[in-house]
Homo-oligomer: A and B are copies of this chain.
């Protein structure tokens, strides 16, 4: 298949592009390289020394003989470029990662809120609009988030997208319906993925587009089989308070002798997936497109759930790291249960990579290797969810002065 990977220069986009290229597909990365610009804005860098996208694709070709093409297009702004590209190249499938993907970044200031909404909504809508306009019957696979469901304890398992409910009818009976799970996003970023869901629902219904939405858990790990092929294919690995994801941050913090930063009680339960499973799930989704004119296909792309404090204790026990209990900059339930249905990917053949198999210490080793690149003042999470919470976020576990870019 000819596959367009939108946002293919990012943390999951890059290993996905390699994985699909390895599998024999013809890969085109469309990216505006905004994530690299945001590193510049925040004055931070990937723990791992990433090469440019041009150099990465050159090395990939040198190592494997396979070509990955790169196209600099801003999906949210360059509608005509995108439309012309789709009309000319007519990909069979499109994987859509091209959104601002950090909740803390999305809550940093009014400018960051506006950017996240404007960028994410327009990127997704421009894409759908251009697909209809060019009459393109490509299968669209989108990276959503488990965060669309919210993290409140309801006593029911979270289904894969659609919730069966009973509704009282006028005649006094009960009508059974399957509805899109009521969304309850916890940040502007998560909210944009809820908006995406409504865009997908409309375009599937009105124009018959074939769409799969993957509600992904928190990704951990950094290497995949393909990024390990050559040092210059190494993946991005974020440790900062905005873009670093919680388990990866704990592992890096342990590696550099920094206390593990737990916010609030650490009673937040979240869903997780290893990056190797993530790229495998995307391949499985591509291999199993929904029929034209059917509803949006939704998978929960996660393999296990954990409480944050349990993860901190696990990493602390493994490495001897201290745990710092910090005020929570997020407005969220201090504790929540999370039971998630995720049978669909296992039925398609996913063999999950679990936390307990040595990969954790491999990641600590990666982090130790590149520890010299860490700016310790960038480790704390300083984006506050509300004006009331902002004054509480005043402590660096190491007593350094906090930096802010907003």
A residues contacting B by CB (< 8 A) are 79, 83, 110, 113-114, 117-118, 121-122, 125-126, 129-130, 132-133, 135, 154-157, 163-171, 173-175, 177, 179-180, 182-183, 185, 188, 191, 194-195, 198-199, 202, 205-207, 331, 339, 385-387
Contact = CB atoms under 8 A, between A and B. Distances in A.
B114 A79 contact: yes
A121 B125 CA distance: 11
A259 B170 CA distance: 37
Given A135-B387, A188-B202, A179 B177 contact: no
A294 to B, nearest CB: 16
Contact of A169 (B125, B156, B199, B207): B156
B110 A117 contact: no
A126 B114 contact: yes
Most buried by B among A133, A154, A163, A168: A168
A166 B165 CA distance: 6
A117 B191 CA distance: 16
Contact of A129 (B79, B110, B170, B385): B110
This chain: copies in complex: 2
17 contacts: A110-B129, A114-B122, A117-B121, A132-B387, A154-B175, A155-B169, A155-B170, A155-B171, A155-B173, A156-B169, A156-B170, A166-B174, A191-B198, A191-B202, A195-B198, A206-B385, A206-B386
A243 B83 CA distance: 28
A117 B133 CA distance: 16
A165 B182 CA distance: 11
Contacts of A386: 206-207
Contacts of A180: 182
Contact of A198 (B155, B174, B198): B198
A331 B170 CA distance: 27
Nearest to A179: B182
Nearest to A208: B386
B156 A129 contact: no
A22 to B, nearest CB: 35
A63 B199 CA distance: 47
Given A117-B121, A122-B117, A163 B155 contact: no
A77 B195 CA distance: 20
Contact of A199 (B155, B171, B191): B191
Contacts of A121: 117-118, 121, 195
Most buried by B among A126, A129, A169, A180: A129
A391 to B, nearest CB: 14
Given A121-B117, A198-B198, A155 B175 contact: yes
A194 B198 contact: yes
Contacts of A110: 79, 83, 129-130, 132-133
A259 B179 CA distance: 41
Contact of A163 (B132, B163, B167): B167
Contacts of A122: 114, 117-118
Ranked nearest first, the 9 interchain pairs of A and B with the lowest CB-CB distance are A165-B165, A166-B166, A155-B169, A179-B182, A110-B133, A117-B125, A191-B202, A156-B169, A110-B129
Nearest to A182: B179
